[in-house]
């Protein structure tokens, strides 16, 4: 089982759609792709996910898989909320609840990106600033 299949399965469970009735694999893959692109932009890295877009290996740290899922789940739920809001429905609260949950997931994703950036700065051997030469 590829890392993409593992994360796709976990994403389906988070979205209460393990049977892929609401979100087909292609839709989940797109959400994972967008979340990975956001992760890479936010952290300045070029991580890949084995099985996604022809990547043979996963370079995304395993400790950040949950973070990627927050972003992908938020994007998927937001897409579903937009679809529901654009259709007539007697229960408008469902779309609003989905949107609120999606925004919460995306906020967790953004907060996690900040933590990843801090972790990278703390682990970097390079100084985050240039040395100040003392002149008397």
Instruction: Kindly give, in sequence order, each residue whose CB lies less than 8 Å from that of residue 76, ignoring residues fewer than 6 positions away.
Output: 11, 15, 23, 27, 28, 31, 102
Which of 59 and 99 is assigned the larger pLDDT?
A: 59
Q: Using DSSP, state whether 120 is helix, strand or coil.
A: helix
pLDDT of residue 127: 67
Q: How large is the average pLDDT for residues 58-81?
A: 90
Percent of the chain with pLDDT over 90: 38
Please give the average per-residue pLDDT across 1-15, as a whole number.
91
The pLDDT, as a whole number, for residue 20 is 78
- Please give the Cα distance from 49 to 33 (Å, whole number): 9
Instruction: Extract the tokens encoding 116.
Output: 């990843």
Q: Residue 8, class by beta-carbon neighbours within 10 Å (0-12 exposed, 13-18 middle, 19+ buried)?
A: buried
């Amino acid at each position: 089982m590829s890392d993409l299949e593992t994360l796709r399965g976990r994403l389906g469970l988070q979205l209460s759609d393990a049977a892929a009735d609401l979100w087909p694999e292609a839709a989940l893959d797109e959400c994972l792709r967008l979340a990975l692109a956001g992760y890479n932009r936010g952290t300045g890295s070029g991580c890949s996910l084995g099985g996604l877009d022809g990547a043979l290996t996963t370079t995304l740290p395993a400790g950040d898989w949950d973070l990627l899922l927050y972003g992908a789940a938020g994007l998927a739920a937001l897409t579903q909320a937009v679809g529901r809001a654009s259709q007539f429905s007697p229960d408008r609260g469902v779309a609003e609840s989905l949107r609120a949950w999606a925004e919460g997931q995306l906020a967790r994703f953004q907060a996690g990106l900040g933590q990843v950036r801090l972790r990278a700065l703390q682990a970097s051997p390079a100084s985050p600033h240039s040395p100040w030469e003392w002149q008397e």
